[in-house]
Amino acid sequence: MNIIQLQYLIDVAELGTFTEAAKKNLMTVPAISISISQLEEELEVSLFTRSRKGVSPTNEGKKVIQHAISILKTIDKMKNDISISRNTNQGNISIATIPGIVPKIINTMLDYQKRYPYINVQIVEGDTTTVLNHVKNGVADMGFVTFSTTNQDPAIKWQPIIKDEAILVVSKSSALRFQQSISSNEIKEETIVLYNDPYIKMIAEKFLLDDLSSNKVSLISNNVDAIFQMVVKANAITIATDYIVNLLPSHIKSEVITISINEYAIQSNNFLWRLTRNNEQVSTILEQFTEHLLSQLT
């Protein structure tokens, strides 16, 4: 077993055929096939189910692929740390994040790459579940989420970055705009739009609605812009967090009002969390990037 074999394994799984994996690696199809077969013989398992349409990982193959991703990530981190110790500052950072802080991560990335031009930063945007899975499975080096402390996965190291609070966001023209705080009974007649995220849905289900299929929920979307356009232009209300609202473009931020959620504020302390894998040491590059990001957020 070697690094090249593990890379071929991951490429075949991602691309679905030996042919595409061969093209990516500038190899012949038989060479890729032999490499996978040798790996299967060494591990004494079948890694892929083969058909005319392509290949798909077996259950054992999925486990081996996860380990292979983790191994290659560890090797990459080793190279990054060695490069930093030699003052060459080369390497790769993969970040998974919920959408709200993407602009600040991009700003941090641009500033960081001016100082360290040989460091590449990749950003994957997704909901909380996606971020958790990417970090846990080694696809991302670190992730950023807002999540209840009672739902933390023990395989992941959770570092609080910013203390946060879930809030309601309404239009400046809303009848609710003068409220200092709101309980669930006060929004029964309001139109609600929600970001498609387990954390946001949990708050909505627990404190605001009995059923997310209610007619009052007019939109559940991964498009943050669409949600806040509904708030501003259609007088809907949504659930967000302090830092998400603070990061909104000024032309939108100036048109919305935030209101505390009574029941939620009483029952939960919340943070913006940085996620890394619990069994791996955080590299110097990630620590430096986090410091730069924190300066953007505070």
* Helix-, strand-, coil-residue percentages of the chain, each rounded to 5: 50, 25, 25
Strands 270-277 and 156-164, how do they pair? antiparallel
Q: What is the mean pLDDT of the chain?
A: 82
- Could you report the per-residue pLDDT of 42-93, keeping only the tens digit for each? 999 999 998 888 899 999 999 999 999 999 888 887 877 666 555 445 667 8
CATH number for the domain spanning 145: value is: 3.40.190.10
Q: What does the pLDDT read at residue 11?
A: 92
| One domain for residues 146 and 211 | no
| One domain for residues 49 and 126 | no
- Could you report the per-residue pLDDT of 270-296, keeping only the tens digit for each? 678 899 998 888 887 888 888 888 887
- Cβ–Cβ < 8 Å for 168, 182: yes
Quick check: 116 pLDDT over 50? yes
Q: What does the pLDDT read at residue 101?
A: 78
| One domain for residues 225 and 82 | no
Quick check: 138 pLDDT over 60? yes
Domain with 197, as residue range(s), is 164-270
| One domain for residues 138 and 197 | no
Q: What does the pLDDT read at residue 151?
A: 64
Q: What does the pLDDT read at residue 48?
A: 92
CATH number for the domain spanning 52: value is: 1.10.10.10
| One domain for residues 285 and 250 | no
Quick check: 266 pLDDT over 70? no
Q: What does the pLDDT read at residue 37?
A: 92
Q: What does the pLDDT read at residue 96?
A: 93
C-alpha to C-alpha distances, 261 to 41, 100, 193, 211, 238, nearest whole angstrom: 58, 20, 16, 18, 11
| One domain for residues 179 and 220 | yes
| One domain for residues 97 and 33 | no
- Cβ–Cβ < 8 Å for 107, 296: yes
Please report the beta strands in 208-269, taking only residues with DSSP state E, as ranges in sequence order: 217-221, 238-241, 256-261
Q: What does the pLDDT read at residue 85?
A: 57
| One domain for residues 159 and 276 | yes
Count structural domains, the chain: 3
| One domain for residues 173 and 259 | yes
Q: What does the pLDDT read at residue 187?
A: 77
- Could you report the per-residue pLDDT of 169-221, keeping only the tens digit for each? 999 988 888 888 777 777 777 888 888 777 777 777 776 665 555 557 788 88
Query: What angle separates helix 3-15 from helix 59-85, to the nearest 10 degrees?
Result: 120
| One domain for residues 194 and 159 | no
